[in-house]
Structure 1
């Protein structure tokens, strides 16, 4: 399959486009039958035992070509196009008209304008016990201790004057604090395919390089 290079948006100038902020990237298994509904027939789905690898990418940018905005990318699964496999985004929601336009026209993403609301509340924190700490993996705590902050992010897609709730994501404070992380700096590339939409009918290939 031929992959066409992206055209450059004058508003975003020439790539690479740099986005700075905080993000949460979560991967999980998606039923192959569910993922295929969002993936072009030209691609072969990478799957095993009836499942592919999907997930979501939730980001809050404080510096970008489109200014300050939030983004939620829902990844349907992984597709194969030799010699690489790439992610395919089923939904892209942003609260910036400029970012939405650029995503549709230049990157071939199914971008939609959405409303992001964030609410932070204090909830009891589970005390970790050395002997039974493995229970935390399954959501089973031992005793309750000091409270921690819980951020709830609500995303609603905007359609004219109406809006439709898409999802609610809850993030613990220890998942958003990166200042105390003592591990090595991490760099990774996420090759992705896009396009085949009403806004950009071409099939495109691009790569997102993450540094944190």
Structure 2
């Protein structure tokens, strides 16, 4: 997952949550595949769908700030300077994300994360890096073709504690006994299944978390990607 707040963009300021369903190997590198993109801006949603071929959806990001007792410090994080001299209370940002479609709203997930810049002992911002992140998009209603684009990123990066994400209040989507989606209202149910799968990704066990600060991102215009077919090799025996 990728959670970001953009202060400036072609679509203005907005918050974004990207659910990355998988990493696709495309020699000589790998590419991220975004299965669902949530933004709290109608213009950002339109831009993502029309210009980049992303599966963007409009959502609300309700934020609150609170204090909570810290758990016992992690040895590995202490080596990196995270948590070894932490205060007894930790300021956290709570974010509740709900998808909006017309007049209806569906709760997706709640995220709790340390408030950036709230701890004075976290003076290390991490190294300044530049990188290019190739990604796939498309195969959507607005862009039926498979697209490939690249994000050029300049930022500072450092390891942080993973955010905590917990179950939504909504129920599981309804399916037939054979696991197939009902034909009646299939578009609605298909979207519910896609949302449920996105929740499964968000609730999976975190492996590593990084904070990107002072971030500047340039997204190249996507291009139609045509996979190259491998030539078949024939074999004969005598």
Does TM-score exceed 0.5, indicating one fold? yes
Structure (1 or 2) with the greater strand fraction: 1
Q: State the aligned residue count.
A: 150
Residue in 2 that maps onto 1:148: 90
- Deviation of 1:188 after TM superposition, in Å, equals 2.1
Q: What is the aligned partner in structure 2 of residue 121 from structure 1?
A: 66
Q: CA RMSD in A?
A: 2.9
* 1:50 alignment partner in structure 2: none
**Deviation of the 1:181 alpha carbon:** 2.2
| 2:51 alignment counterpart | 106
Change (3 A) 1:199 1:182: closer
Structure 1 residues 99 and 182: CA distance shift in structure 2, 3 A? closer
Q: Decide which of 102, 116, 127 is 1:160's aligned counterpart.
A: 102
Report the TM-score, using the length of structure 2 for normalisation. Answer: 0.56
Cα deviation code 1:94-129 (max 9, x no counterpart): 01111111111111100011111111101123465x
Q: Can you give the 5+ residue segments of structure 1 that lack an aligned partner in the other structure?
A: 1-55
1:180 to 1:80, Cα distance in 2 relative to 1, 3 A: same
User: In structure 2, what is the equivalent of residue 71 of structure 1?
Assistant: 16
SS across alignment from 1:66 = coil
1:47-104 Cα deviation digits (max 9, x unpaired): xxxxxxxxx1101111122111100000000112334321100100001111111111
**Contact conserved, 1:100 with 1:111, CA < 8 A, in 2?**
yes
Partner of 2:37: 92
1:103–1:110 CA contact under 8 A, matched in 2: yes
User: 1:91–1:126: structure 2 CA closer, same or farther, 3 Å change rule?
Assistant: same
Structure-2 residue corresponding to 1:184: 127
Q: How many Å separate the matches in 2 of 1:177 and 1:71?
A: 24
Mapped partners of 1:74, 1:135: distance in 2: 25
1:17-28 to structure 2, matched below 5 A, reads: none
CA distance in 1, matches of 2:17, 2:125: 27
Taking the aligned partners of 1:149 and 1:110, their CA distance within structure 2 comes to 33
Distance 1:175 1:188, change over 3 A: farther
Runs of 4+ in 1 over 4 A off after TM superposition: 134-137, 174-179
Extract unaligned runs of 5+ from structure 2: 156-238
Larger Cα-atom Rg = 2
